[in-house]
Amino acid sequence: MPTKTIHIPMADGRADVFAAFPEHRGPVPGVLMYPDAFGIRPVLRDMAEKLAAHGYYVLVPNIFYRHGPAPLVALPAYIGEEARPDIVDRLMPLVHQHTAERTGRDADAYLRFLAGQPEVKDGPIGVVGYCIGGLLATRTAAHSSRVAAVAAFHGPVGTDGTDELAKITGRVHFGHAASDLTPQALNELNTALEAARLDYTSEIYPGTIHGFTMADTDAFDAVGSERHWEHLLALLALLDSALTST
């Protein structure tokens, strides 16, 4: 599986990004994969390569590039209960600085980069995000009509309000951790998605806690992770169909 680390010129500096794509194939659909706050690391590279093996060019950006290359803080191989609080405390100020306006500027650069790669098909792209990356994925989908499919897992989706959700034109899947969202809150979110006339699925993954897709953390849930892959691949199959029809 070909992979590379690249530096992309941005409005506010240069972003280090990780790319994975199939070998010996023609152009494939592009997918922008936003990581969680812990950023680019072995587990995210593995996830990008797994998705690329299904026939996608996957780009994973360092969302906090303004503050330095990834990883911004030293990460243990396994992020357990003892290590997590200190790491989160150090990263949360950066999360709060990542405004919707900043997300839009960055997304424009990432999408331009994808459009310029010979391995990427012209046309719509997919976006997926985890944790804070889920919010960035939904912001990107609201910002650009090029996004034909968007998925967010254990992310604070809906934070920017229903008006932003209504700007999304692509197909949506939201996979929520059971610890992040009550059934009542899910109903309220889904009512907003209905009002926005989105083509969506939005559900709580039973028995999961925040971060359940990340195999290098104590939040990981194998059943929830597999369910996430099933939903993500089914969603991106619709992206394949959209590209075929253009």
Residues 29-56: tens digit of each pLDDT: 999 999 999 999 999 999 999 999 999 9
pLDDT of residue 24: 80
Give residue-wise pLDDT tens across range 150-191. Answer: 999 999 998 888 889 999 999 999 999 999 999 999 999 999
Residue 200 phi/psi, 5° resolution? -145, 160
Q: Is the pLDDT of residue 241 over 90?
A: no
Q: At 25, is the pLDDT very low, low, confident or very high (cuts 50, 70, 90)? A: confident
Q: Inter-axis angle of helices 42-52 and 222-245, to 10 degrees?
A: 40
Nearest to residue 48, comparing CAs of 121, 126, 122? 126
Domains, the chain: 3-245 (3.40.50.1820)
Calpha distance 18→44 (Å, rounded): 9
Higher pLDDT, 243 or 158: 158
Mean pLDDT taken over the chain: 95
Q: How far is CA 172 from CA 93, 129, 137, 199, in A?
A: 28, 12, 10, 6
- Spatial contact of 37 and 97, defined as CB atoms under 8 Å apart: no
Q: What is the token pair recorded at 118? A: 């010979």
